[in-house]
Amino acid sequence: MPNSARTPGVAPGRLPRETIDGHFSDLHPEFSRHEAAIEAERCYFCYDAPCIDACPTGIDIPLFIRQIAAGSPDAAAMTIFDSNILGGMCARVCPTETLCEEACVRNDAEGKPVEIGRLQRYATDALMATGEHPYERQPPTGRRIAVVGSGPAGLACAHRLAMKGHDVVVFESRDKPGGLNEHGIAAYKTVEKFAEREIEWLTAIGGITIEFGRSLGSDLVLEDLTRTFDAVFLGVGLAGANALGIGGEDLANVESAVDFISRLRQSEDLTELPVGRDVVVVGGGMTAIDAAVQSRLLGADSATIVYRRERERMGASEYERNLAASKGVKIETNARPLEIQGGRRVRDIRFERTRTGADGIESTGETFRIDADQVFVAVGQKLAIEASLVEFERGKIKVGEAGRTCHPRIWAGGDCASEGDDLTVTAVAQGRDAAEDIHKSLA
Amino acid sequence: MASLNSEFLGIKSPNPFWLASAPPTDKEYNVRRAFQAGWGGAVWKTLGFDPHIVNVNGPRYGAVWTGDRKLLGLNNIELITDRPLQTNLDEIKIIKREFPDRALLVSLMVPCEEAPWKKILGRVEETEADGVELNFGCPHGMSERGMGSAVGQVPEYIEMVARWVKSNTRMPVLVKLTPNITDIRFPARAAKAGGGDGVSLINTVSSITGVNLDTFSPEPTIDGKGTHGGYCGPAIKPIALNMVAEIARDPETAGFPLSAIGGITTWRDAAEFIALGAGNVQICTAAMTFGFRIIHELTEGLRLWMEEKGIDAIDDFRGRAVPNVLDWQYLNLNYVTKARIDQDLCIKCGRCFAVCEDTSHQAIRINPGREFEVIDEECVACNLCVNVCPVENCITMAELQPGEIDARTGRVVEKEYSNWTQHPNNPAACAAE
Ligand SMILES: Cc1cc2nc3c(=O)[nH]c(=O)nc-3n(C[C@H](O)[C@H](O)[C@H](O)COP(=O)(O)OP(=O)(O)OC[C@H]3O[C@@H](n4cnc5c(N)ncnc54)[C@H](O)[C@@H]3O)c2cc1C
Ligand SMILES: Cc1cc2nc3c(=O)[nH]c(=O)nc-3n(C[C@H](O)[C@H](O)[C@H](O)COP(=O)(O)O)c2cc1C
Ligand code: SF4
């Protein structure tokens, strides 16, 4: 008998294949030419446009939209890529509702911003579909730069450096490039192996070698890198997951949400991916939302996010919260876990009610339980490397302007750096800016 | 209740909305549908002699759109009717019998000699149509054969043909004018001098709508080549309004019956033309864009507006705007306004700033928080910011009252009207000092 939503425990194939395929199709399907033309027409070409400021990579948004309106999506794409070489991924994953689109003056005009993200995707997809890489490298400089980590920060940095004529070696601990583009982003935001295709396209500029299974801290030492390369960029992200620090975390079917998502992203057949009947996710950010939503999409009977503070303080945007609600995810706020209970496997979690008081979170004394066949912990990631040459600040690599660390030949950017903010687009901006700074320092 | 009843050249129709001579009035089927939908009248697609002309067999129309494909202007290289004369005449007769309360005129275009005109008029009279319209307007195809705008561009010919027509028929005669001329008053005067009963205008404006950048051929393209066509639709309304106004305020033609045509799309456009002196209006492109059902918006919109204004009949507001159209030199130079930006309505796009700063008078400043403010010392009240602002009524022009100081000139605003003819900078000023 096939499994269903109510099958106890953790089981694969809770939904028919067609349903799962439908659930994991594109969240925002690509604009047709007609839709793009109409939407592009809505842009007012604002003076000193607020959307540009709101984009961490500072794309000239009114210009690229005007280029779409004028019927040259390829030119529009170049405007985007000039600022953000991962413009294709950002178009899919940026929480535009809190970035460019939040700043759109059309919000004031009629409560509906220009759909900048989808227009960006329209343009970048058009150019990428030609299969040709649009940039040429400047004459070789003979300089070699090591980039550690092939997430968006590392890739943006590597591309910009390659463009300037430098040779780049990217060291990646996993056996696949992309970082969280490949392992973290929700599957329905980047369908049809987009992350993989984008990297193929990006590295086609030449001058970028990626070495897999090379891990800083085990077979790579920062000191060696600074000696053998002219500069080093660290874009290692946050590879460690924070734990709850409560009893029962070691029970079976309790794991970090990022591990579950990574497994999901790498799964070739989602009907074979097991998921719990009653899933509980502890946390309040984008990762918690993605874990809960994707559990539901796989067929979990219930998925509950439990967050310790008030709803408005969740890291996930209102748009993301509404998306979760629309997929049947329940969001329980003002509660923190006391203990994960069960035998060998998790059975339920005991929570206590909280409220925000003068000194932060306080207990109300009230407790309650939620049944759980599977528990995902999504209370943040942490830096998983230790290095002697750089300084740390609040658990991240301390950087100043353009990602400079205290070491003159080491830069850092993205989630691992003190200026990172857990957004793909910020990682791209910081990787790019560090590359420019490295280039200047090598001149 | 306000009445839309119309009487123009003695021809009655239940409303002042006629279909202009064009594809919508090309045959019995279309005109029946139009009259069933409620149109007040129609001018039949222009007739000529057999052997009837032929049209191209590729695209006849080109267009200009906004980004979301709203049609701004249409262009055509269609000729007059391409069906046998007798077929048209038979159908006209059927339609007139079927809809006796509607106005039905017949547009005509024959060679520039008296005999052909005489001949065709006799045959049109047999249809019992209400009148004829002389097509001196088409700017393409027929003009190269010495007809259409080739006649309309020579006032002497207009007068001559109008006279032939009047002396060969008892039907009312409307003379349709081409806008492809420098001063529209001359053809209008000629139509009157020739005994025409009124003028209708405008016919289409000579145009090429675009160039195909792959084939390097003009649009619409026929086998890689193109030719100029006639432009119509919303884009030509301002041209038509001006020409109508010119005729209405010309002492020689003031009060001469005028049927307005050109870009009329909503009831509002129609009301504007009537306010500038038109006795009724004719419509082509709006019908060709949306179909005949727009007639309900046209009639009900006009009726409602008339009721709001307390106007009982079309003739009661006809020409009301004419006295307000002046030559530039008589405009009041003591009238001073300043742009005002309503901060509550402002959406902070900054377009007003961009255009004033780059292309006008640097009269808008950006305060902290993207607040845009007009600098009265610099504002010349050109209206550009109003025109580019995406929010209606967000930027308006505030009048300075007499006694107030214009911060730009430092001068006190005067109460008295004063124009260029009296201005000290005018070498020819006849100042009453
Ligand atoms: C579940 C989830 C969903 C998310 N969804 C979104 C979203 O929708 N939109 C959005 O904007 N952001 C989202 N984010 C955040 C976003 O993915 C990150 O901010 C972004 O990927 C950071 O890029 P990065 O290059 O700094 O690090 P990463 O993407 O983490 O890449 C780091 C790379 O370095 C490698 N690495 C790590 N340690 C070593 C080492 N010691 N030696 C060598 N290589 C190493 C890793 O394998 C990885 O490939 C999400 C994050 C998560 C976890
Ligand atoms: C396809 C087409 C064919 C036309 N044919 C004629 C014609 O045969 N005779 C004529 O007098 N005007 C003709 N016209 C001009 C219209 O009658 C009218 O004067 C002009 O289109 C302007 O009005 P509008 O802006 O409402 O379309 C034609 C217009 C179009 C679009
Ligand atoms: S009216 Fe003209 S000069 Fe005055 S603020 Fe507007 S654009 Fe500038």
Taking only the tens place, the pLDDT of each residue in B71-91 is 999 999 999 999 999 999 999
Strand pairing class (A275-276; A10-11): antiparallel
- Cβ partners under 8 Å of residue B78, min gap 6: B23, B55, B60, B61
Nearest alpha-carbon partner for A116 in A103, A125, A128: A103
Question: B112, B138, B352, B379: which one is catalytic?
Answer: B138
The pLDDT score that the predictor gives to residue B433 is 46
Pairwise CB contact (< 8 Å): B348 & A50: yes
- Express as a percent the part of chain B with pLDDT over 70: 99
**To the nearest 5 percent, what fractions of chain B are helix, strand and coil?**
35, 20, 45
Nearest alpha-carbon partner for B261 in B16, B428, B430: B16
The pLDDT score that the predictor gives to residue B211 is 97
The pLDDT score that the predictor gives to residue B11 is 98
Q: What are the tens digits of pLDDT across the range B396-420? A: 999 999 999 999 999 999 999 999 9
B102 pLDDT above the threshold of 90: yes
Nearest alpha-carbon partner for B401 in B409, B413, B392: B413
Regarding the beta carbon of B80 and ligand 2, being less than 6 Å apart is answered yes
Instruction: Return d(Cα A250, Cα B414) in angstroms, integer.
Output: 88
Best probe of the B interface among A46, A61, A106, by most B CBs < 10 A, is A46
Among B67, B350, B391, the residue with its CB nearest the CB of A109 is: B391
Among B353, B366, B390, the residue with its CB nearest the CB of A44 is: B390
Q: Quote ipTM for the complex.
A: 0.82
Q: What are the tens digits of pLDDT across the range B41-52? A: 999 999 999 999
Asked whether A190 and A125 are in contact (CB, 8 A), the reply is: no
Chain A partners within 8 Å of B366 (Cβ):
48
Q: How far does Cα A61 stand from its chain's mean position?
A: 21
| B189-195 average pLDDT score | 98
The pLDDT score that the predictor gives to residue B139 is 75
Would you state the torsion angle of the CA atoms of residues B173, B178, B181, B182, taken in this order, to the nearest 10 degrees? 70
CA–CA min distance A113, chain B (Å): 12
pTM confidence score:
0.89
DSSP per position, A170-221: EEESSSSS-THHHHTS-GGGS-TTHHHHHHHHHHTTSSEEEEET--BTTTB-
Say how many Å lie between the CA of residue A44 and the centre of ligand 1.
Answer: 35
CA–CA min distance B228, chain A (Å): 24
Q: What are the tens digits of pLDDT across the range A70-129? A: 999 999 999 999 999 999 999 999 999 999 999 999 999 999 999 999 999 999 999 999
Q: Which residues on chain B place their C-beta less than 8 Å from a C-beta of chain A? A: 66-69, 347-351, 353-354, 366, 370, 390-391
Instruction: Return d(Cα B300, Cα B394) in angstroms, integer.
Output: 29
Among B353, B360, B372, say which to mutate for ligand 3: greatest number of ligand atoms within 8 Å of CB. B360
| B356-364 average pLDDT score | 97
Regarding the beta carbon of B259 and ligand 2, being less than 6 Å apart is answered no
B253 pLDDT above the threshold of 60: yes
CA–CA min distance B377, chain A (Å): 22
The pair of structure tokens assigned to A416 is: 């691992």
- Which run of H or of E encompasses A396? strand A396-397
Nearest alpha-carbon partner for A108 in B369, B398, B359: B369
Pairwise CB contact (< 8 Å): B68 & A38: yes
Q: Which of A5-14, A319-328, B133-142 has the lowest mean pLDDT?
A: B133-142
The pLDDT score that the predictor gives to residue A1 is 57
Residue B429: pLDDT band with limits 50, 70, 90 = confident
Q: Average pLDDT, whole number, for chain A?
A: 95
Q: What are the tens digits of pLDDT across the range A9-49? A: 999 999 999 999 999 998 888 999 999 999 999 999 999 99
Strand pairing class (A360-371; A346-357): antiparallel
A220 pLDDT above the threshold of 70: yes
**CA-based radius of gyration for chain A:** 22
B138 pLDDT above the threshold of 80: no
A341 pLDDT above the threshold of 80: yes
- Which run of H or of E encompasses B124? helix B114-125
Q: Average pLDDT, whole number, for chain B?
A: 95
Nearest alpha-carbon partner for B164 in B139, B134, B187: B134
Q: Which of B148-162, B186-200, B415-429 has the highest mean pLDDT?
A: B186-200
Q: How far does Cα B346 stand from its chain's mean position?
A: 34
Instruction: Return d(Cα A287, Cα A186) in angstroms, integer.
Output: 9
Task: Specify the length of chain B in residues.
Answer: 433
The pLDDT score that the predictor gives to residue B67 is 83
Q: What are the tens digits of pLDDT across the range B289-307? A: 999 999 999 999 999 999 9
The pLDDT score that the predictor gives to residue B342 is 97
Q: Is B385 a catalytic residue?
A: no
Asked whether B183 and B243 are in contact (CB, 8 A), the reply is: no
Chain A partners within 8 Å of B390 (Cβ):
44, 109
Residue B430: pLDDT band with limits 50, 70, 90 = low
The pLDDT score that the predictor gives to residue B36 is 98
B143 pLDDT above the threshold of 80: no
Chain B partners within 8 Å of A48 (Cβ):
350, 366
Among B67, B347, B366, the residue with its CB nearest the CB of A109 is: B347
B1 pLDDT above the threshold of 90: no
Q: What ligand 2 atom has the least distance to the C-alpha of B288?
A: 31
Helices A61-69 and A116-128 cross at an angle (nearest 10°) of 70
Residue B149: pLDDT band with limits 50, 70, 90 = confident
Cis check: omega of the bond before B220, within 30 degrees of 0: yes
| B314-337 average pLDDT score | 97
Q: How far does Cα A14 stand from its chain's mean position?
A: 27
Dihedrals phi, psi of A427, to nearest 5 degrees: -60, -40
DSSP E strand boundaries for B205-257: 205-207, 210-212, 217-219, 229-232
A217 pLDDT above the threshold of 50: yes
Instruction: Return d(Cα A41, Cα A65) in angstroms, integer.
Output: 8
Q: What are the tens digits of pLDDT across the range A130-154? A: 999 999 999 999 999 999 999 999 9
Instruction: Return d(Cα B239, Cα B231) in angstroms, integer.
Output: 11
Instruction: Return d(Cα A367, Cα A59) in angstroms, integer.
Output: 49
